[in-house]
């Protein structure tokens, strides 16, 4: 295991940035070793309330500073993220158990999102004139006002990327943020946040709290003018219900049981190589990773054999460098969940083609990347999200059968189509019920496209992050319309009598001119 820059003085320094007055702590476990990494200070509901009050004060000045100032600060933070990447990678790996390469994905995504919103916020949110009800008589413009304090609740699996993807558009729009970090990802969030504070974001503008979700998470929802949540569908529904009780808006990115369709015109070896990463990146602990593969019968034998062989060849271990392909699960709870799904499937008749067992010789939470066939509806892993390194391969006899099977889920977050024909893959993609669809890639094509919206359908959530949609959720659209004085709008019966004919002529003329 390579040397880490994560020292106890650094850890103590970072947790000092948390908002808390309780003196209470919870232990955080390092996945690679099972040892206590540090004791994390936790907040109270009152701490959250106080943080929101301070954030509201800071938000007024931040909004008034304008787009140019915010752009400069965010671009400086972008550079600091890149300069400090090795420290960020060490912390990410130590907290999550993922590989160096998959940790790098987070840093890359975070810098991309920061640059995107720094440069695009002003253009997306600029005041624009809109078509009025009666051209020249009325002039209409639409502008945007930041909502105020955004409550953000982020999970442990992609702590930096999922944090930045929600926090930065909120800041770019002129809002403040109170963020509940998952205990397991708090160090990663605090380390990345420090780059923004040193770049010029006021510390009070972006407060980070940690602790029990029923206390701290609920408090974050209660103080917010808008809520962005990423996590399980069950928790997300409760967050949405709590927000709606006060008519507070919310975006919810929730679970997935993401399908990949392998059509009969692929090169099986290439498709298998790409599919393996789509399934096992970050040990499958990614909301958009693939858990179901539907492969055309004519290429199924070759694809499946190649997929299983490549899975077995993956290098697994606790290295803080680029020498491993897959790492560890993040917690004992994750290990228990994965083992339960695999044991249940095997007991009920599934076949293990690769993996299928824990690897305590590598570390306490390691589990082999696992390939199953013969998975049926009776098995837990058939329709429930495993959120681990387990995939089920199913052979289908037609494109129609593959599409129907892919759509037969309560989830609709991500999907993928592998084909030798882009036009064919696009036709299939258009029929899949998912918020994002990747062609000849598992998730990175859409996940990395920061100018395009990402989010779920069905039980996979509401709202979108990334793209213009990702910043527009954090603002209130305001219409200002003015009478120009060219013509006085009718007010009395006689005035309506005189002008109604003119107004009818206008309606017909605008239609004839194809004017909106």
DSSP string, 289-327: SEEEEEEEHHHHHHHHHHHHHHHHT--BS--SSSS-SB-
What is the CATH classification number for the domain harbouring 367?
A: 3.40.309.10
Contact between 55 and 177 under an 8 Å Cβ cutoff? The reply is yes
Question: Looking at the domain assignment, is residue 467 inside a domain?
Answer: yes
Distance CA 160, CA 219 (A): 22
Distance CA 45, CA 410 (A): 34
Element of type H or E holding 482: strand 475-483
Considering the candidates 287, 385, 399, 441, report the single residue annotated as catalytic: 287
| Residue 302: CA count within 13 A, CB half-sphere | 13
Q: What is the CA radius of gyration of the chain?
A: 26
What is the CATH classification number for the domain harbouring 165?
A: 3.40.605.10
Considering the candidates 106, 253, 385, 441, report the single residue annotated as catalytic: 253
Query: CA end-to-end span of the chain, whole Å?
Result: 64
Reply yes or no on whether 385 is catalytic.
no
Distance CA 423, CA 110 (A): 32
Please, is 482 exposed, middle or buried when counting C-beta atoms within 10 Å of its C-beta (0-12, 13-18, 19+)?
exposed
Tokens encoding 268: 């099986």
Q: Are residues 234 and 310 in the same domain?
A: no
Distance CA 11, CA 154 (A): 20
| pLDDT by residue, tens only, the chain of 516 residues | 666 778 989 999 999 999 999 999 999 999 999 999 999 999 999 999 999 999 999 999 999 999 999 999 999 999 999 999 999 999 999 999 999 999 999 999 999 999 999 999 999 999 999 999 898 999 999 999 999 999 999 999 999 999 999 999 999 999 999 999 999 999 999 999 999 999 999 999 999 999 999 999 999 999 999 999 999 999 999 999 999 999 999 999 999 999 999 999 999 999 999 999 999 999 999 999 999 999 999 999 999 999 999 999 999 999 999 999 999 999 999 999 999 999 999 999 999 999 999 999 999 999 999 999 999 999 999 999 999 999 999 999 999 999 999 999 999 999 999 999 999 999 999 999 999 999 999 999 999 999 999 999 999 999 999 999 999 999 999 999 999 999 999 999 999 999 999 999 999 999 998 887
pLDDT at 3: 62
Question: Looking at the domain assignment, is residue 64 inside a domain?
Answer: no
Question: Looking at the domain assignment, is residue 84 inside a domain?
Answer: yes
Reply yes or no on whether 381 is catalytic.
no
Q: Are residues 439 and 469 in the same domain?
A: no
Q: Are residues 121 and 246 in the same domain?
A: yes
Question: Looking at the domain assignment, is residue 22 inside a domain?
Answer: no
Question: Looking at the domain assignment, is residue 197 inside a domain?
Answer: yes
Tokens encoding 468: 């213009």
Q: Are residues 338 and 388 in the same domain?
A: yes
The strand pair at 138-146 and 149-154 is best described as unpaired
Q: Are residues 333 and 425 in the same domain?
A: yes
Contact between 360 and 366 under an 8 Å Cβ cutoff? The reply is yes
Question: Looking at the domain assignment, is residue 490 inside a domain?
Answer: no
Q: Are residues 196 and 151 in the same domain?
A: yes
Residue located via tokens 């129609």: 400
Q: Residues, the chain, total?
A: 516
Domain with 303, as residue range(s), is 258-455
Q: Are residues 102 and 244 in the same domain?
A: yes
The strand pair at 475-483 and 138-146 is best described as antiparallel
Q: Are residues 314 and 439 in the same domain?
A: yes
Distance CA 276, CA 130 (A): 48
Number of domains the chain is built from: 2
Element of type H or E holding 208: strand 206-209
Question: Looking at the domain assignment, is residue 41 inside a domain?
Answer: no
Dihedral Cα 83, 89, 94, 96, nearest 10 deg: 130
Q: Are residues 407 and 451 in the same domain?
A: yes
Q: Which residues does 250 contact at the CB level (< 8 Å), separation at least 6? A: 226, 227, 228, 229, 239, 240, 243, 244, 462, 463
pLDDT at 1: 61
Distance CA 6, CA 79 (A): 21
Q: Are residues 433 and 466 in the same domain?
A: no
Distance CA 152, CA 170 (A): 10
Q: Are residues 309 and 264 in the same domain?
A: yes
| DSSP helix/strand/coil, 353 | strand
Beta-carbon neighbour count of residue 39 at 10 Å?
14
Question: Looking at the domain assignment, is residue 492 inside a domain?
Answer: no
Q: Are residues 100 and 193 in the same domain?
A: yes
Tokens encoding 184: 């397991």
Question: Reading across the β-sheet that carries 206-209, which strands appear in turn?
Answer: 206-209, 176-181, 149-154, 226-230, 249-253, 461-462
The strand pair at 370-373 and 390-396 is best described as parallel
């Amino acid at each position: 295991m390579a040397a880490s820059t994560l020292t106890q003085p650094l850890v103590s320094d970072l947790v000092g940035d948390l908002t808390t007055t309780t003196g209470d702590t919870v232990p955080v476990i390092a996945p690679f070793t099972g040892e206590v990494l540090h004791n994390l200070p936790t907040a109270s509901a009152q701490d959250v309330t106080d943080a929101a009050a301070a954030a509201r004060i800071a938000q007024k000045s931040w909004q008034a500073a304008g787009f140019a100032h915010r752009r400069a600060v965010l671009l400086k933070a972008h550079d600091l993220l890149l300069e400090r990447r090795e420290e960020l990678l060490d912390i990410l790996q130590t907290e999550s158990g993922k590989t160096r390469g998959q940790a790098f994905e987070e840093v890359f995504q975070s810098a991309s999102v920061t640059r995107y919103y720094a440069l695009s916020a002003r253009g997306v949110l600029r005041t624009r004139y809109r078509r009025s009800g009666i051209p020249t008589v009325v002039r209409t413009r639409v502008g945007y006002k930041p909502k105020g304090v955004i409550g953000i609740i982020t999970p442990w699996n992609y702590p930096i990327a999922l944090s930045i993807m929600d926090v930065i558009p909120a800041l770019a729009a002129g809002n403040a943020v109170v963020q509940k970090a998952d205990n397991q990802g708090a160090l990663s969030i605090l380390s990345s946040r420090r780059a923004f504070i040193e770049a010029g974001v006021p510390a009070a503008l972006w407060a980070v709290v940690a602790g029990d979700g029923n206390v701290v998470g609920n408090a974050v929802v209660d103080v917010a003018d808008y809520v962005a949540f990423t996590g399980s569908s069950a928790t997300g529904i409760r967050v949405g219900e709590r927000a709606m009780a006060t008519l507070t808006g919310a975006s919810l990115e929730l679970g997935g049981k993401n399908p990949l369709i392998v059509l009969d015109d692929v090169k099986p070896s290439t498709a298998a190589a790409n599919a393996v990463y789509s399934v096992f990146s970050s040990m499958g602990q990614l909301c958009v990773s693939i858990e179901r593969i539907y492969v055309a019968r004519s290429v199924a034998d070759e694809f499946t054999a190649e997929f299983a062989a490549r899975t077995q060849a993956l290098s697994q271990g606790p290295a803080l460098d680029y020498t491993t392909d897959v790492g560890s699960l993040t917690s004992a709870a994750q290990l228990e969940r994965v083992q339960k799904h695999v044991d249940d499937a095997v007991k009920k008749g599934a076949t293990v083609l690769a993996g299928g067992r824990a690897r305590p010789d590598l570390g306490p939470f390691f589990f082999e990347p696992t390939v199953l066939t013969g998975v049926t509806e009776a098995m837990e892993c058939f329709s429930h999200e495993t959120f681990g390194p387990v995939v089920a391969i199913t052979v289908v006899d037609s494109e129609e059968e593959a599409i129907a099977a892919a759509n037969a889920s309560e989830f609709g977050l991500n999907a993928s189509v592998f084909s030798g024909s882009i036009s064919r893959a696009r036709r299939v993609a258009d029929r899949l019920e998912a918020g994002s669809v990747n062609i000849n890639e598992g998730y990175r094509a859409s996940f990395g496209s920061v100018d395009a919206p990402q989010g779920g359908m069905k039980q996979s959530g509401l709202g979108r992050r990334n793209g213009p949609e990702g910043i527009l959720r954090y603002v209130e659209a305001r219409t200002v319309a003015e009478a120009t004085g060219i013509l006085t709008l009718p007010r009395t019966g006689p005035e309506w009598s005189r002008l109604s004919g003119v107004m009818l002529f206008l309606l017909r003329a605008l239609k004839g001119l194809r004017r909106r």
